[in-house]
Amino acid sequence: MRKQIVAANWKMNLTIQEAEKLVNELIEKLPTLQINQEVVVGVPFPYLTMVKGIIANKANVFVAAQNCYTKDAGAYTGETSVPMLKSIGVEYVIIGHSERREYFHECHKMLTEKVERCFEHGLKPIFCCGEPLKIREAGLQNQYVETQLKESLFQFSAEQLKGFIIAYEPIWAIGTGKTASSEQAQEMHAHIRSVFQGQYGADIADTISILYGGSVKAANANEIFGKPDVDGGLVGGASLVVSEFVPIIEGLSS
């Protein structure tokens, strides 16, 4: 049974006081999660330890860093390594978000190295992929996303990618108010699964959780999560509002 996951990506938002209030309210109102369901909260680096402390005794709720560096240690001022994250109990790391690719020019090789560091130290990557609007309009989205996956992930073994987590984020639907239809989401998720099946076989492909990450809201979560190849969501702005985020989590069970 594949994991169903709703992951929050707070991005660069909230003060420490606001963050503490938000996560306490979230835990208070969190619905009961099934054994195969998880909530992952991706928070800014300064808040990882605080959030980890609040969720420590809550089953199936985990904290994620929003990034990591490609090296374990060294003269890399301002960076945060996977061993550092491991030492404070972080379980997940968001890798290759479109904003990291665009604003910080993260390439396929760099993302491979970040995933490799996570595997070496036992952290779980949430690997982001997705196409910009011009690629979608040209009808080249399948090839574009397939290249992202192959160039960064196909160096790894089937065993390493068993249970891996992909977040498909159509860049044209992030923070724009536009959302891919549930049919568009399913089409791409099925394609992503087929890409892994072609390389690693159906047994591995069927273990991979593929999350949708493009303006997920309470109003559309049920429909999107109900598609057979959609295993949850990577949620941006809506994760900053508990009254919006909780119904999204509840959409996993519908």
CA 201, CA 206: separation in Å to the nearest integer? 9
Q: Where are the alpha helices (DSSP H) in 33-178?
A: 48-55, 82-87, 98-103, 108-121, 133-137, 141-153, 158-161
Active site residues: 97, 169
**β-bridge partners, 129:** 168
AA identity, residue 13:
N
Tally of CA atoms within 13 A in the half-sphere of 4 that contains its CB? 22
C-alpha 186/C-alpha 42 separation (Å) is: 24
Whether the model clears a pTM of 0.75, i.e. scores above it, the answer is yes
Distance of CA 214 to the CA centre of its chain: 11
Q: Measured between alpha carbons, how far is residue 130 from residues 134, 168, 172 in Å? A: 12, 5, 9
Residue-range domains of the chain with CATH = 4-253 (3.20.20.70)
Per-residue pLDDT 10s for the chain (254 aa) are 899 999 999 999 999 999 999 999 999 999 999 999 999 999 999 999 999 999 998 999 999 999 999 999 999 999 999 999 999 999 999 999 999 999 999 999 999 999 999 999 999 999 999 999 899 999 999 999 999 999 999 999 999 999 999 999 999 887 676 768 899 999 999 999 999 999 999 999 999 999 999 888 899 999 999 999 999 999 999 999 999 999 999 999 75
d(CA 77, CA 62): 27
Task: Give CA separation, 73 vs 79, 81, 85, 199, in Å.
Answer: 9, 7, 12, 33
